[in-house]
Each structure stands twice: as structure tokens, then as C-alpha cells.
Amino acid sequence: MNNSYELLMWLREKELLKNSPKYWWPNAFTFEVVVGAILTQNTKWERVEESLNALKKEFPLTPQNIASLDTWYLASLIRPSGFYNQKAKRLILLSQNIIKDFGDFEEFKLNVDREWLLSQKGIGFESADSILCYACGRDVMVVDSYTNRLLREFGYEFEGYEELKEWMERGILENWDKLRGLYEDNLNLCFARFHGKIVEFMKGRR
Ligand code: EA1
């Protein structure tokens, strides 16, 4: 395995996303992805789904609805995914800032950038890139500890998040002539599914 294109081709043979949504992350391009990206920090995805279901039972997931909640009430709904007081405060503040700086979620999707996301309390590289890829549809590849671990097994070591992300994106961009036909000429779709395949492969192994 010499580059991320070869890694993608190796993962494609395994049909890891047969039971997943097209863009892998459930309800891609909705505000639910933003909420999920915060809730999934330091927790298993299954617990995040519990929290998201509890929230969606109460009200539609919009920045307007989250921004107006009391911390204690939001915390009580997201308890399954852990760190609930901290995550509730951060979700309320983030929702208020989305409204203040962009007006609504549709404008946020069109106009937000990585720097704005990274300036928000509780949003690091992985959360920011998850929001850009899966909520905003940008041509960004998410990498995570699964990606890092998988590549270490193939003998690769990276200095940090940004180096790993650039290596992952570069292999795809340099081979895009061979990939575009497989991904509807849609780089966002390719990055979205590539990251999803890595997560499902690593989860499925144990
Ligand atoms: N795991 C299975 C995940 C998923 N969708 N399906 C997941 N982990 C983090 N995720 C985000 C989104």
C-alpha cells in the first residue's frame, strides 16, 4: 500500500458500506450532523444515536431550537453520550453563534469555514472536518484515531492530524482521474465514503 488511493481500493473490495446511507453519516447535510459531531467526542456512536433520538423526539433539530434551551434540560436529553453538562453548554453556545454570525443553518452551510469552526469552544480538528464534510458538503477528508491506527499497521507514521489528513487527501486528488467515475464526479462523496469505510472496517474487526 503506497498511497491513500490504494488504501481506498483495498477497502472498496470489502463492501463495508452496504447497510449505510449514501454519504455514510446519517442525515448528512442537516444540523443533526453538527450535533452528532459534538456528542460523539469521547463516546461510542451507539450512545450518540440514543441521545439524538431523545432530542428528535422532543423537537426538530435546528440551531434556533437548541439555542433557546436551558443547559440542565438539554443535558438531561443527551445523558447517554456522556460529558453531558459540558456538551450541553457547548451545543447551546455553538447554536447561538451560528444564529449570530450566519442567521440560519442554510447560510451557515454555505459560508462557514474551518477557522470559524476551530474558534468555537469544544470543536477540534476532527469535529470541524466532520461538520465541513458531512454537514456542509465540502471537499474535506475526515481523519481520526481509527485512520491513524490503520495506517500505523501499514507501517506509516504521521506527525499529527494535519499531516495525516493531507496524505489521505493527496492520494485521492492525484488519482481523481481514475476515481471520478466511481463517485459521480463528486469529491465530497468520495471523501465521505472513504472515511466511513475506515470507521466501519476498524469497528468491525473487534
Ligand atoms: N458509526 C457508525 C458512525 C456512524 N455514523 N455510523 C459514526 N461514528 C462517528 N459516525 C460518527 C457517524
How many whole angstroms separate alpha carbon 23 and alpha carbon 98? 24
| Residue numbers of the domain that contains 105 | 31-135
- Residue 61 is part of a domain; what is its CATH number? 1.10.340.30
Per-residue tens of pLDDT for the chain, all 206 residues: 999 999 999 999 999 999 999 999 999 999 999 999 999 999 999 999 999 999 999 999 999 999 999 999 999 999 999 999 999 999 999 999 999 999 999 999 999 999 999 999 999 999 999 999 999 999 999 999 999 999 999 999 999 999 999 999 999 999 999 999 999 999 999 999 999 999 999 999 96
- Asked whether residue 125 falls in the same domain as residue 160, the answer is no
Residue having the nearest C-alpha atom to atom 5 of ligand 1? 25
Is ligand 1 within 6 A of the CB of residue 29? no
Kindly provide the b/e burial profile for residues 53-82, where b requires at least 16 CB atoms within 10 angstroms of the residue's own CB. eebeeeeebbbeebbebeeeebbebbbbbb
Going from the Cα of 100 to the center of ligand 1, the distance in angstroms, rounded, reads 29
Going from the Cα of 185 to the center of ligand 1, the distance in angstroms, rounded, reads 24
Going from the Cα of 171 to the center of ligand 1, the distance in angstroms, rounded, reads 23
- Asked whether residue 116 falls in the same domain as residue 162, the answer is no
Q: Are 135 and 31 in contact (CB under 8 A)?
A: yes
- Asked whether residue 52 falls in the same domain as residue 128, the answer is yes
Residue having the nearest C-alpha atom to atom 4 of ligand 1? 25
Measured from the Cα of 130, ligand 1's closest atom is: 11
Q: Give the model's pLDDT for residue 99.
A: 98
- Residue 159 is part of a domain; what is its CATH number? 1.10.1670.10
How many whole angstroms separate alpha carbon 201 and alpha carbon 62? 32
Domain boundary among 80, 101, 135: 135
At 95 the three-state DSSP class reads: helix
Is ligand 1 within 6 A of the CB of residue 134? no
Residue with cell 432530542: 55
- 0.95 exceeded by the pTM? yes
- Asked whether residue 60 falls in the same domain as residue 123, the answer is yes
- Cα Rg, the chain, nearest whole Å: 17
Going from the Cα of 42 to the center of ligand 1, the distance in angstroms, rounded, reads 13
- Asked whether residue 40 falls in the same domain as residue 130, the answer is yes
Is ligand 1 within 6 A of the CB of residue 41? no
Instruction: Pick the closest to residue 145 from 132, 133, 128, 158 (CA basis).
Output: 158
First-to-final CA distance of the chain: 23
Which DSSP state fits 108? H
